[in-house]
Copies of this chain bind each other. A is one copy, B any other.
Amino acid sequence: MSVMGKPILYSYWRSSCSWRVRIALNLKEIPYEIKPISLVKGGGEHHSNEFREINPMEQVPALHIDNHTLIESLNILLYLEETRPHRPLMPADPVKRARVREICEVIAAGIQPLQNLIVLVYVGEERKKEWAQHWITRGFTAVEKLLSSSAGKYCVGDEITLADCCLVPQIFNARRFHVDLRPFPTILRVDRNLENHPAFTAAHPNNQPDCPPEATK
């Protein structure tokens, strides 16, 4: 692999954490290749010995970039921001940066880990829908409150930030689990302002090379 080769994103079409990174790469206009890792085929390619060497957490995303493989989506977003300042996705002011990161972290630590696939499998078929709804609703209640003081057109003010890269995929998951989104008008407003943005559209699960044709019908 050449030093200057395109970054390789290990991604699954419906993974909200992979989606966060796809959005950021698109916004920053960083060309990249997708290496699809199926979370369902044969019990999940993320559990293979080969992929465990790439990410010992056995999950997507992982990003091979600058001759290193990085894991954990917020970490990857911050690495891109530190090394590719083109089209910044973080404000310059330290308090505003904190506002962006706290929305990211509520989603990435407070919501998504509780409703991801491996946890729902462990929770069991009977309880999984109610479980996912419970934790997404709890987290979105906090996000709505945070956005009520930070949001302009987007999560923090009128510029797209890493918080938007995290929020949009989480809204998709909320809809997938039939969460009632009516109590979250600010979340819905930000979502509407981003739904036709080309960087977000191109990163959408339905537009991924590994999206099964039946999913988009």
- Closest CB of chain B to A129's CB: distance in Å? 14
Contact of A102 among B71, B109, B112, B146 (CB under 8 A): B71
State how many copies of this chain the complex holds: 2
Contact string against B for A residues 132-157, beta-carbon threshold 8 Å, 1 for contact and 0 otherwise? 00100001011001100000000000
- Name the prevailing secondary structure of the A interface residues: helix
Indicate if the CB atoms of A97 and B82 lie closer than 8 Å: yes
Determine whether A27 belongs to the interface, using a CB cutoff of 8 Å to chain B: no
Q: Are B141 and A102 in contact (CB under 8 A)?
A: no
Given A75-B105, A82-B94, A109-B113: 10 more A-B contacts, CB < 8 Å:
A56-B146, A57-B110, A58-B142, A70-B98, A72-B110, A75-B102, A78-B97, A83-B94, A110-B113, A113-B113
